[in-house]
A and B are shown apart, each in its own frame.
Chain A
Amino acid sequence: MYFQLDIVTPDRTAYSDAVTALSVPTPNGAIGVLPKHVGLFTVLGDGEIKISTGSKELFLAIGGGFMQVTREKVSILVARAVHADELNEKAIKDAEAAARAIVTSQVKGEELAAAQAILRRSVLEMKVMRRHRTPHISPLGSH
């Protein structure tokens, strides 16, 4: 059983294909979506999306957004979505830059918050990247 999944960010359509299962992060914990899921609308937090296409699993690091589940398809709108295989040394550099920014500009609240956001993001991307390199099978919904 497949259902249509679209992941759209303001810059691009990050993913659009038929999938068998999906796991997304929400503020109240992860939600797993299988075909014929009940209609659902939820807020998404920062985190990783896990997509199962039957043959393989994909991971995406996302920024906050929204998910809409209807009988026909699932639409995910997020501020940012990065595929695991798009992540590379850049993520490490981001993390470094963020760490440095925090150390140097601890005085300013707004900048500190921005730096923390970058740090959070790069930690997340690193996690997704590690996951991608050592794929392991985990049953869905076991979060």
Chain B
Amino acid sequence: MANIRLIKRRIKSAKNIAQITKAMELVAASRMRKAQAVALAGRAYAQKIYEMVAYLASRVDAIHHPLLAGPKKISGWRTIIVLSSNKGLCGGLNTNLFRFLNREYPDMGKHRYVVLGSKAAVFVSRMAGGRVMADFSQTVPFAHNVAAITAMVAEEYTGGKTDGVDLVYNEFLSAIKQNPRKKTILPLTIEGVGESKVKSHLPADATHQALQAGKSKVQDILIEPDPESVFAALLPHYLENQIRDAILQAEASEHSARMVAMRNATDNATGLVGDLTLVYNKARQEKITYEITDMITARLSVVE
């Protein structure tokens, strides 16, 4: 019967799919372990340097380094670095990120974008065509782009071409949980750090004024050898580190999401094989019964 052959074919293809997704799951799992180890190892450092810079930025004069200053003129847009994956098949990871991006920046066409990952490149150019400044998707691993991106956004910012720089990426929380996240790296905002006396939502120049006003309250802090050379070393390093950390987190998220997605696909395929086998057996039994009935009917008619 044609029906039985059809079912058999479907079982076979479901089995093949399960095999492929299983293999992809294993690959993703081993990549995830590596990416996860790297991402988690760097997290403490990234967190510390973020706190350090915020702490210092709230306590010193902005004249010591161009990156300390607030935006020169209000251009009305921000530079957004969007980190997605190059490949799909990772569940809702990218979709969630893009939805988040859309929500955080309702008028996407106003801002400028640096994208890593071809999924982000496609999405951003669809939503805000012509506002993509650079697409670094082709250089893998993405961590190799850190220096170039840092130089680019730092120049944009000090040149007064942008109001600030944000990172949008999937933060790696655990193998089954990733969270879209926005992190502002420029201007050097002071968000909830330690005993900071400055309001977090103030831009850097307002912070500076607030500091001037209450100068006596500012903690006596020595900077050695001198603020210029400290900031010249610290700030580029800070930017690079923050971008690198985001990239590593995004990579760990991608592999975890893919692993989970592939496991679900394998489970679904296996379930489908089970269901189809049941249908197949039923059809086969039906066929046998039919044949027996047929034979008996034939015999009876011959005997008579």
Q: What is A's interface to B at a CB cutoff of 8 Å?
A: 6, 8-13, 26-28, 31, 38-43, 66, 68, 70-71, 75, 77
Contact of B225 with A8 in the complex, beta carbons under 8 Å = no
Residue of B nearest to A9 (CB): B45
Q: Is the interface of A mostly helix, strand, loop or mixed?
A: strand
Q: Among the listed B44, B48, B49, B230, which residue makes an inter-chain contact with A42, where contact means beta carbons less than 8 Å apart?
A: B230
User: In the complex the two chains form, what is the Cα distance from A28 to B230 in whole Å?
Assistant: 13
User: In the complex the two chains form, what is the Cα distance from A42 to B222 in whole Å?
Assistant: 8
Cβ-based interface call for B152 (8 A):
no
For chain B, the count of residues having a C-beta within 8 Å of the partner chain is 23
A8-B48 in contact given A38-B222, A40-B222 (Cβ < 8 Å): yes
User: In the complex the two chains form, what is the Cα distance from A31 to B162 in whole Å?
Assistant: 40
User: In the complex the two chains form, what is the Cα distance from A68 to B221 in whole Å?
Assistant: 10
Contact of B222 with A77 in the complex, beta carbons under 8 Å = no
User: In the complex the two chains form, what is the Cα distance from A46 to B229 in whole Å?
Assistant: 16
B76 to chain A, nearest CB (A): 34
Contact of A39 with B224 in the complex, beta carbons under 8 Å = no
Q: Among the listed A6, A8, A13, A40, which residue makes an inter-chain contact with B224, where contact means beta carbons less than 8 Å apart?
A: A40
Contact of B224 with A41 in the complex, beta carbons under 8 Å = yes
User: Across the interface, which residues of A come within 8 angstroms of B55, CB to CB?
Assistant: 68, 70
Residue of A nearest to B229 (CB): A43
Pairs across A and B, CB under 8 Å, 22 listed: A11-B42, A12-B41, A12-B44, A13-B44, A26-B225, A28-B224, A31-B224, A38-B221, A39-B221, A40-B222, A41-B221, A41-B222, A41-B230, A42-B222, A42-B225, A43-B225, A43-B229, A66-B233, A68-B52, A68-B55, A68-B56, A71-B219
User: In the complex the two chains form, what is the Cα distance from A50 to B229 in whole Å?
Assistant: 25
CB 8 Å contact bits of B33-44 with A (1 = contact, 0 = none): 000000001101
